[in-house]
Chains A and B, each alone.
Chain A
Amino acid sequence: GAGVSQSPRYKVAKRGQDVALRCDPISGHVSLFWYQQALGQGPEFLTYFQNEAQLDKSGLPSDRFFAERPEGSVSTLKIQRTQQEDSAVYLCASSLALDGEQYFGPGTRLTVT
């Protein structure tokens, strides 16, 4: 079946604009994760869902970041009033359980100018 997909693949935003990044997990995967990957760094945890419940959002860097998964499938990461430091690749991953193998999407490369 299809793997994890993300859209858009690339996004250029002017500073101050709002952006929305979409993640389509593997069908049946209850766990969904968002990570931020800066250039030359490892993925850093942002937030985690089990079905529609957001169980951990400790990694969100500020209240400008908001994530949702209203029906327990597709998830959206929204960043309000984007800043230059938000420029990064945003990766989504899904798995059957919190401690299961995580399958990553291709990422969305966000550039804030």
Chain B
Amino acid sequence: GENVEQHPSTLSVQEGDSAVIKCTYSDSASNYFPWYKQELGKRPQLIIDIRSNVGEKKDQRIAVTLNKTAKHFSLHITETQPEDSAVYFCAASGNTPLVFGKGTRLSVIA
């Protein structure tokens, strides 16, 4: 089955800097890659997703890149703000239930 690895597990950045979180997956049949943000005690919320027919997708300060050959995808957050502090999860699926990474705790220091 699918296996998703996520790095780093924790990340601290200064406000205004960029943050990058990377994930790898094992199943070459996977074709849907969402990213979720989860604040403490809250539900996961989708922030961006990408499908395998594109290599990059942007939404304001957030972008995701996908390299299907290498089986990895990354989340990029630019101009980070304190409210970006949360746990971020990547996930992968190929017409199968989502498999999540273990999460990255992002701290944005003002």
Contact = CB atoms under 8 A, between A and B. Distances in A.
B93 interface: yes
Interface residues of B, number: 23
Interface residues of A, number: 20
B85 to A, nearest CB: 16
Contacts, number: 49
B43 A44 contact: no
Nearest to B31: A99
27 contacts: A33-B98, A40-B103, A41-B102, A42-B6, A42-B91, A42-B102, A42-B103, A43-B44, A43-B89, A44-B100, A45-B98, A45-B99, A48-B97, A56-B96, A59-B97, A91-B43, A98-B93, A98-B96, A98-B97, A99-B32, A101-B34, A101-B46, A101-B49, A102-B34, A103-B46, A104-B36, A105-B43
Interface of A: 33, 40-45, 48, 56, 59, 91, 98-99, 101-107
Interface of B: 6, 31-32, 34, 36, 42-46, 49, 89, 91, 93, 95-103
